[in-house]
Amino acid sequence: MIIEQIYTGCLAQGAYYIESKGEVAIIDPLREIAPYIKKVKEANASIKYIFETHFHADFVSGHVTLSKETGAPIIYGPTASPSFDAVIAEDGQEFKLGELTIIALHTPGHTMESTTFLLKDKNGNDHAIFSGDTLFLGDVGRPDLAQKAAHLTQEQLAETLYDSLRNKIMPLSDDVIVYPAHGAGSACGKNMMKETVDTLGNQKKMNYALRASMTKEEFVKEVTDGLLPPPKYFPLNVQMNKEGYEDISIVLDRGTTALSPKDFEIAANDTGAIVLDVRNQSEFVKGHVPRSIFIGLNGDFAPWVGALIADIKQTILLVIPEGKEEEAITRLSRVGFDGTIGYLKGGIDAWKSAGKDFDTISSISAAEAEKGLKDDSISVFDVRKVSEFQSEHVKNAINTPLSDLNSHLSQFPAKSTFYIHCAGGYRSVIAASILKSRGIHNLVDVAGGFAAIKTTNVDVTNYVCPSTL
């Protein structure tokens, strides 16, 4: 028996490869299927099943393409209704994989089709559960994403999730291994652990949602408390996962079109494409195509694209480091953004050499910011999350979270200079690029963010542990 977790940090997502006697099951595959095909060939095995724990909202699964390439059936749990051919398993239905058995346990609540797959070893003993978004480490799946589709309130879905956990998962043995679909950083839960594998017994001790004495009313209150609005691209990803999508090879072929500065400019004007610059923030600050948006590959690239661009049908032109073209287009496609139509050949250097106008961002060190803040007329805007801001911030700073920046535009000064920062410098440059694209140019980015500011004598509030907020 071989079980491999294939974890993608940018999405905080876990796909799974299970092999026994030359037969393979893939659970919740990513959009790019080449790694699975390669792994199977190297093992001289074949893919027998593709299991989907639910219709994912935060990424586009590779199930449709993988099934097309291998002939393996896609398997969903009860109540799923995809637009393509799939096996809709009954609750408790068994699937043989070599010497192993995989059992579909219908565990609705996160979504109504959500299903946990229980793996039994060759001796018939419960070995592991692949819990999708039903059970995370330290948390459970948020119950607000499927409200409209299920015609239920988030409270009703939470009640359903409570029953699923207590009737289907908690009765299992403490030594059963838990393999969730996501880890810390995913927007599918509130407060997941940084670990990506654990035992069910430890989760019964550590996970608030599995508290033995917890009433249904307490569960509903605690699970729904503090839920932030889901990213706007989530419903669009659900639709793609449910209805199907374009093959990634087509997306890559279209997106890797190299454009001269002249053709790049023409394409941007003619198509209304967003110019997305994915270089390092320090490079973007020094020079970029005017009105381009920065979201660097070195950070949580795909989730930020989804949160800030939102419309997955948006046409995109890329400014990208040489050799990173396929990586960027692939990572965009993971969250449903298939509209890349080309990239700037030669990058920003070619743009400048062609005599095209370029823009920069004013940036200063934390030490320079300390000197500047002696002038009380300079405002400070902190684009970190509310919880980060509440934990500790520059005194008198204004919190304008990046994820909701557009709703805060009226707070920024029209003419006077202001400072902007995040935790380490990545998010503030994203914010600066958005503000400049909106015509707000009187900003100064504080390089190194709050981490650098704390090394100076700038007044900050007393630290409060985020868990106590």
**Distance (Å, rounded) from C-alpha 56 to C-alpha 54?**
6
* Contact of 397 with 382, CB cutoff 8 Å: yes
Domain with CATH 3.60.15.10 in the chain: 2-232
| Average pLDDT of the segment spanning 30-47 | 95
pLDDT at 123: 96
Percent of the chain exceeding pLDDT 70 equals 99
Is a pLDDT exceeding 70 seen at residue 349?
yes
Radius of gyration of the chain (CA): 24
pLDDT, tens digit, 9 for 90 and up, residues 226-258: 888 888 889 999 999 999 999 999 999 999 999
Is a pLDDT exceeding 70 seen at residue 467?
no
What does each C-alpha distance from 115 to 53, 112, 119, 233, 368 come to in angstroms?
5, 9, 13, 23, 54
| Average pLDDT of the segment spanning 125-150 | 89
Q: State the fold for domain 363-468.
A: Oxidized Rhodanese; domain 1 (3.40.250)
pLDDT at 190: 78
Is a pLDDT exceeding 80 seen at residue 139?
yes
Prediction pTM value: 0.89
**Which residues on adjacent β-strands are paired with residue 104?**
117
| Average pLDDT of the segment spanning 152-169 | 95
Domain with CATH 3.40.250.10 in the chain: 246-353, 363-468
Is a pLDDT exceeding 60 seen at residue 469?
no
Mean pLDDT of the chain: 94
Is a pLDDT exceeding 60 seen at residue 364?
yes
pLDDT, tens digit, 9 for 90 and up, residues 309-326: 978 999 999 999 999 999
Q: How confident is the model at residue 149 (pLDDT cuts 50, 70, 90)?
A: low
The CATH code belonging to domain 2-232 is 3.60.15.10
Q: Using DSSP bridges, classify how beta strands 94-97 and 100-106 pair: parallel, antiparallel or unpaired.
A: antiparallel
pLDDT at 191: 79
Among 3.40.50.620, 3.40.250.10, 3.30.450.20, 3.40.50.300, name the CATH number for the domain at 246-353: 3.40.250.10
Is a pLDDT exceeding 90 seen at residue 184?
no
pLDDT, tens digit, 9 for 90 and up, residues 187-212: 787 778 889 999 999 999 999 999 99
Percent of the chain exceeding pLDDT 90 equals 87
Q: How confident is the model at residue 119 (pLDDT cuts 50, 70, 90)?
A: very high
Q: How confident is the model at residue 277 (pLDDT cuts 50, 70, 90)?
A: very high
pLDDT at 147: 60
pLDDT at 148: 61
